[in-house]
Amino acid sequence: MNLEQLRSFVEVARFGNFTRAAEELYLAQPSLSRQIAALEKDLGAELFQRARGGSTLTVAGEALLPLARRMLADAESVRRELAELAGLERGRVRLGATPTLCISLVAEVLSAFHADHPAIELHLSEQGSRRLLDELGSGELDLALITTSDAATAERFTVTPLLVEELVVVSSAAAPPVTTRDRIGLAEVARLPQIVFSSTYDLRTTTDAAFRAAELTPDIVLEGAEMDAVLRFVERGLGVAIVPAMVLIDRPGLRSVRLDAPTLTRTISLAKPADVATTAAVDVMQRTIATTATAFASRAGETMRLAGAGVGGDDAAR
């Protein structure tokens, strides 16, 4: 006797019909019939009176039904208890991420995690990398997706690089390309009307440093916008922006071109406290982030290739 046989027995008893029970259990009817026959052989008694109009319980079947239901309920209770001990059916994960990651990678991560573990309570903090490390250090977060790290964080946190992402120049797909070449120089970008982020963005620090190093002054038409607003303004032709390649996914209104030397990149890393034991739910979240980041980077590269080639509409969003 096994749980599959008992589950099949209970479903046939519920429907009074082998065909409907097989459909409910996603089994072929012959497989279901073999399970019931094996159960009857093990018990040494017929459990159903089979007739053309349906199947009804025998005296032995009526005696077994409440016991079978109880055993299945006990098995489910054990499964739930073990899952809860593993931290996968109750508990919480507190994740921090930068704004640029929240509108790209994090949306995919949380969607995948919630689909597999819907009972886990999720908390998200959207801040710059430095603020996220402060929250991680004070115990407000379990994990943080950051785009900068330095030697001062090494002792307090475990920082694991996930991927290195290229920064690209984006413009409106509805406007003529900013260049006919496959790359654009920083001096050319400086002469284009530019939309730049708030000074709290790590991206702003990176691009400002690149322009200073090249002794260039960019033509800024709008300053201080958040990521989603920057992308919308670019789509409407207000100017160009330097953004992570990842944000091109599902943005068919944008065209991209790579920067010529110096190429600008950012490293996306996962940080966690170095001296705090993680729960099973947090461990699963870490694995989900790593897997999703790899797949997302591949999608971003293909989307950037299509956007740079001027492919629009649904093709560019795949």
Answer for the pair 58, 48: CB distance below 8 angstroms, yes or no.
Answer: yes
Cis peptide preceding 218, ω within 30 of 0: no
How high is the pLDDT of residue 313?
36
pTM exceeds 0.75, yes or no = no
How high is the pLDDT of residue 82?
73
- 254's enclosing H/E stretch is strand 254-259
Answer for the pair 8, 20: CB distance below 8 angstroms, yes or no.
Answer: no
State whether 174 and 234 are in the same domain: yes
C-alpha 315/C-alpha 318 separation (Å) is 6
C-alpha 168/C-alpha 228 separation (Å) is 16
How high is the pLDDT of residue 102?
87
What does DSSP assign to residue 240?
B
Q: Is the model's pLDDT at 106 over the cut of 60?
A: yes
State whether 240 and 308 are in the same domain: yes
- Which one of 65, 85, 105 terminates a domain? 85
Q: Is the model's pLDDT at 179 over the cut of 50?
A: yes
> How would DSSP label each residue in 153-174?
GTTTEEEEEEEEEEEEEEEETT
Higher pLDDT, 154 or 236: 236
State whether 144 and 285 are in the same domain: yes
3-state secondary structure of 28: coil
- Max Cα distance, the chain (Å): 92
pLDDT digits (tens, 9 = 90+) for 43-53: 999 999 998 88
Range of the domain at 42: 3-85
The mean per-residue pLDDT over the stretch 229-235 comes to 94
3-state secondary structure 218-262: CEEEEEEECHHHHHHHHHCCCCEEEEEHHHHCCCCCEEEEEECCC
- 121's enclosing H/E stretch is strand 121-126
pLDDT digits (tens, 9 = 90+) for 117-128: 898 999 999 988
The mean per-residue pLDDT over the stretch 78-99 comes to 80
C-alpha 288/C-alpha 112 separation (Å) is 7
pLDDT band with cut points at 50, 70 and 90 for residue 301: low
- Which one of 85, 103, 137 terminates a domain? 85
* Cβ neighbour number for residue 240 with a 10 Å cutoff: 26
State whether 70 and 153 are in the same domain: no
How high is the pLDDT of residue 122?
94
How many residues would you count in the chain? 318
Range with the poorest average pLDDT among 76-85, 173-182, 215-224, 275-284: 76-85
Of the segments 87-96, 101-110, 181-190, which one has the largest average pLDDT value? 181-190
State whether 309 and 187 are in the same domain: yes
